[in-house]
């Protein structure tokens, strides 16, 4: 057999396409806003991570255009060699200030930031303690590390402490999401910090979904709980609230210096393009100047959570703009996705391996720029289809 045979024989997705139940790689031909044109159909977007609604902000777009005019379309090299621009340095200073750390380092993607940091920081005979619901990029970073990954039950402090007791805590890095990307709940950082102190462990928080959402300044879960000083590494992405693509690690200066000279994902990747860099800088400025965006995001979040629960939907432990509707079987998730799409609502079905078997969900995510009328339109459709599928 050829090693390529498995590729030729893979037909699960083709079967779903043939049956009309394939929810992936949908073609969007408009800007990422509260409404999009998907496969030629106008749809209400309730599956975007643009929490602050900045991806189409005039200032963000203008900053991107000006950066291309000044620097061109790319850097044609890695940060390590010829790819460091003055705006990269400016962005890293702004990110460090935002999350309350001494220094920051920008990567071309959020995925590379996690993979590049974790695989570099953790060495042989050292440990990585991860929440079972951590993002795939965290898991992949652990798998690339020569250290050993141990997983604790989701947000379960007793489970985490048993692992810390087993390894005696030292030479270990606890890694958690600030907001968990599918469940929509928040890491129990106060108790995680307490355990890290007790057992001499270090802590890394992935703020991908919590930047622009949690904290007085939108800095994320560490700021929200007042534990920034106790968090050794803060990771974040630009592809959610900050309206672009890319990621970063923030920490003390020596740790960032180490990553700059040891992280293969940084050294051997082309640097963040000028347009993306400039758009993130502008998004940070807007977030600081317009705190009402975060307030409106939470107004929309609390309204939708209350309404979903009032209908009888199971939203799990979500308390953030990521709101899952737990539907159980995969067939139900796909049917609900299809029916909502027909009604003009764009959502995302989540199935194994992203969730355990028979624990499928419909992942909704909300934006500061959703209007009350749009939310009510969606609620009407969720009520109608939930009753049709006997979910509520």
pLDDT tens-digit series, residues 63-87:
999 999 999 999 999 999 999 999 9
Residue 40, CA distances (Å) to 30, 36, 43 in order: 10, 9, 9
How many angstroms separate the CA atoms of 147 and 268, rounded? Answer: 22
Return the higher-pLDDT residue of 174 and 355: 174
Residue 93: is its pLDDT beyond 90? yes
Work out the percent of the chain whose per-residue pLDDT is above 90.
97
What does the block give as tokens for 124? 């042989």
HSE-up (13 A, CA, CB side) for residue 301: 22
Query: Do 234 and 205 touch, CB atoms closer than 8 A?
Result: yes
Domains in the chain: boundaries: 17-46+291-388, 58-289
Q: pLDDT band for 44, please (50, 70, 90 cuts).
A: very high
pLDDT at 260: 98
pLDDT at 170: 79
pLDDT at 355: 87
How many angstroms separate the CA atoms of 345 and 36, rounded? Answer: 10
Averaged over 134-147, what is the pLDDT?
97
pLDDT at 185: 98
pLDDT at 59: 98
Angle between helices 330-342 and 372-388 (to 10 degrees): 130
Residue 217: is its pLDDT beyond 90? yes
Q: pLDDT band for 126, please (50, 70, 90 cuts).
A: very high
CA 321 to chain CA mean position, Å: 12
Q: E strands of the chain, at which residues?
A: 35-38, 41-45, 103-107, 127-131, 148-152, 172-177, 202-206, 233-237, 247-251, 322-328, 345-346, 348-350, 360-365
Instruction: State how beta strands 103-107 and 348-350 pair.
Output: unpaired
Query: Do 113 and 242 touch, CB atoms closer than 8 A?
Result: no
Closest listed residue to residue 323, CA positions, set 213, 169, 223: 213
Averaged over 145-172, what is the pLDDT?
95
- Of the candidate CATH numbers 3.30.420.480, 2.60.40.10, 3.40.50.1980, 3.90.1150.10, the domain formed by 17-46+291-388 belongs to 3.90.1150.10
Residue 169: is its pLDDT beyond 80? no
Q: Which of 38-42, 207-211, 277-281 has the lowest mean pLDDT?
A: 38-42
Closest listed residue to residue 179, CA positions, set 381, 346, 322: 322
How many angstroms separate the CA atoms of 307 and 315, rounded? Answer: 11
Q: Cα dihedral sign for 217, 222, 224, 227? A: negative
The chain-wide mean pLDDT, for the chain, equals 96
Instruction: State how beta strands 172-177 and 202-206 pair.
Output: parallel
pLDDT at 353: 86
How many angstroms separate the CA atoms of 52 and 295, rounded? Answer: 10
Averaged over 348-366, what is the pLDDT?
92
Residue 214: is its pLDDT beyond 80? yes
Query: Do 232 and 78 touch, CB atoms closer than 8 A?
Result: no
Residue 189: is its pLDDT beyond 90? yes
pLDDT at 389: 95
pLDDT at 134: 97
Residue 55 phi, psi (nearest 5)? -65, -25
pLDDT at 14: 94
pLDDT at 285: 98
- Of the candidate CATH numbers 3.20.20.210, 3.40.640.10, 3.40.1710.10, 3.30.930.10, the domain formed by 58-289 belongs to 3.40.640.10
User: Any bridge partners for residue 360, and if so which?
Assistant: 328
Query: Do 248 and 107 touch, CB atoms closer than 8 A?
Result: yes
Closest listed residue to residue 106, CA positions, set 124, 88, 133: 88
User: Any bridge partners for residue 151, and if so which?
Assistant: 130
User: Any bridge partners for residue 234, and if so which?
Assistant: 205, 250
DSSP 36: E
């Amino acid at each position: 057999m050829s090693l390529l045979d498995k590729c030729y024989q893979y037909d699960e997705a083709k079967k779903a396409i043939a049956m009309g139940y394939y929810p992936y790689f949908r073609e969007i031909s408009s800007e990422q806003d509260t409404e999009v044109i998907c496969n030629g159909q106008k749809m209400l977007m309730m599956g975007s991570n643009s929490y602050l609604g900045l991806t189409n902000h005039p200032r963000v777009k203008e900053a991107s255009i000006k950066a291309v005019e000044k620097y061109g379309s790319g850097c044609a090299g890695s940060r390590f060699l010829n790819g460091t621009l003055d705006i990269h340095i400016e962005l890293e200073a702004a990110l460090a200030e935002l999350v309350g750390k001494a220094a920051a380092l920008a990567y071309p993607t959020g995925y590379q930031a996690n993979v590049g940091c974790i695989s570099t920081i953790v060495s042989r005979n050292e440990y990585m303690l991860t929440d079972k619901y951590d993002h795939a990029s965290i898991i992949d970073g652990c798998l690339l590390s020569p250290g050993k990954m141990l997983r604790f039950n989701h947000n379960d402090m007793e489970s985490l402490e048993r692992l810390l007791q087993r390894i005696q805590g030292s030479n270990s890095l606890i890694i958690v999401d600030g907001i968990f990307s599918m469940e929509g709940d928040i890491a129990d950082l106060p108790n995680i910090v307490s355990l890290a102190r007790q057992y001499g462990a270090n802590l890394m928080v992935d703020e991908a979904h919590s930047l622009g959402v949690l904290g007085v300044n939108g800095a994320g879960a560490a700021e929200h709980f007042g534990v920034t000083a106790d968090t050794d590494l803060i990771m974040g992405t630009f592809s959610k609230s900050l309206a672009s693509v890319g990621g970063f690690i923030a920490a003390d200066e020596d740790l960032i210096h180490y990553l700059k000279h040891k992280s293969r994902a940084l050294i051997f990747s082309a640097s963040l393009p000028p347009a993306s860099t400039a758009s993130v800088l502008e998004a940070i400025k807007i977030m600081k100047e317009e705190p009402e965006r975060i307030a409106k995001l939470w107004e929309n979040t609390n309204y939708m959570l209350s309404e979903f629960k009032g209908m009888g939907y199971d939203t799990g432990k979500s308390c953030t703009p990521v709101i899952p509707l737990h539907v159980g079987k995969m067939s139900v998730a796909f049917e609900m996705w299809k029916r909502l799409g027909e009604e003009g609502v764009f959502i995302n079905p989540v199935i194994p391996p992203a969730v355990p078997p028979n624990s499928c969900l419909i992942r909704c995510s909300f934006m500061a720029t959703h209007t009350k009328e749009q939310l009510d339109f969606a609620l009407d459709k969720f009520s109608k289809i939930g009753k049709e599928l006997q979910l509520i």
